[in-house]
Copies of this chain bind each other. A is one copy, B any other.
Amino acid sequence: MAASASSLLADAASSSCGAISPRPRLLRGAPAAAFVPSPSRHSCCSLRASPARRHRSRFVASAVPTMQPPAESRVSTVVDVDLGDRSYPIYIGAGLLDEPDLLQRHVHGKRVLVVTNTTVAPLYLEKVAWALTHNNPNVSVESVILPDGEKYKDMDTLMKVFDKAVESRFDRRCTFVALGGGVIGDMCGFAAAAFLRGVNFIQIPTTLMAQVDSSVGGKTGINHPLGKNLIGAFYQPQCVLIDTDTLNTLPDRELASGIAEVVKYGLIRDAPFFEWQEKNMPELLAREPNALAYAIKRSCENKAEVVAQDEKESGLRATLNLGHTFGHVMAADMSHRLGWIDDSIKERVFAILKQAKLPIAPPETMTVEKFKNIIAVDKKVADGLLRLILLKGPLGRCVFTGDYDRNALDETLHAFCNN
């Protein structure tokens, strides 16, 4: 049997490499492009029970200016989400679905329900079922395959998950596994939160967006016809398993969607990461494995830090929604109109999004009126006041506030939308 999660934790915590630093350790004066993974620095954290070497760490700056291949294959990193008795690890690496013990140590009970969709099932369902059951005859796996797409993130589709679990007579000692992108993770997580008032669940995100954002932090839910994510729960998984190999099958559009979230972390709280992205965007777009793995790791670390401080979004966590009410460019434009950031930051936001081939304007059909109606039901409205995440100060600083000049919001909406 594999080492238990707790012994893995103990091993890492007692190692002398000090890999679990609360903040990234930066080498002063090192060039920005140097923030690349350096797995060879962490052999002290290797896991005897597994064929893979695994590094429980934030990240370590390196003076090597170019991307380096990992010393061996199947090197994984562990990022901890620190939430007291709801803490859990995020495993990041290539080929992690080929390591059954990683998943199996987080399964509770004998029965597993894999929730996935029609796009992902043909690609990875068999592999996941194998990983769950290999050398583990006590566990049986069932699956429910939902239609693919945001428009199915609704109550009717969610009911299919409950139907399957109830008809299969699942009890409280079971595990739900989300295999797919953000929609699947959000729906499976909410189903796990609500089925019998809460069963265990595991996230296996297969899109970059889900890997760097939606699978981490416990926000789950579905859409209401009048607004996104209006029904849901805060519910934490047992673990998040990110096999970066799954990105090889990801459409370009989906990759870009994930990169938008990666850019977000730089903008709201991590200027060095933003600078790294400015230099490494071509590698990210070319799906260079080390660049992707590093971007995922640094994104998860940023998210984990924020969530650990504010799990239920009473304040700080709301900053993670930059770009979710309106896009990064509109947030930058409005921040600039308010005089909160200088020209260069606004220009760099536009530039990096263009470089990432991301849109820098809403769809043609969007009008100011439509936009206002949509943001009126935004979850960040409190007592009728829309609070926004805006950039303020030097690169990597933002605020979450309802205290802004309404004219600046109007001007931004008019600058980007049709009347």
Binding site for B on A (CB under 8 A): 109-110, 155, 159, 162-163, 166-167, 169, 171-173, 190, 193-198, 219, 221, 224, 226-227, 230-234, 312, 376-377, 379, 381-384
Q: Which residues of B contact A109 (CB under 8 A)?
A: 382-383
Sample of 19 A–B contacts (CB below 8 Å) = A109-B383, A110-B384, A162-B231, A163-B224, A166-B227, A166-B230, A166-B377, A169-B377, A171-B381, A172-B379, A172-B382, A173-B382, A190-B194, A194-B194, A194-B221, A194-B232, A196-B379, A197-B221, A197-B234
Whether the Cβ atoms of B195 and A233 lie closer than 8 Å is no
Q: A155-B155, A172-B379, A197-B219 are in contact. List 19 more A-B contacts (CB 8 A).
A: A110-B383, A110-B384, A162-B230, A163-B224, A166-B224, A166-B230, A166-B377, A169-B377, A169-B381, A171-B382, A171-B383, A171-B384, A193-B233, A194-B232, A194-B233, A195-B230, A196-B230, A197-B221, A197-B379
Tell me which of B163, B190, B197 contacts A232 (CB under 8 A).
Answer: B197
Tell me which of B171, B312, B376 contacts A169 (CB under 8 A).
Answer: B376
State in angstroms the CA–CA spacing of A23 and B55 once bound together: 50
Q: Which residues of B contact A234 (CB under 8 A)?
A: 197-198
Minimum Cβ distance to chain B for residue A167 (Å): 7
Whether the Cβ atoms of B171 and A231 lie closer than 8 Å is no
Whether the Cβ atoms of A166 and B384 lie closer than 8 Å is no
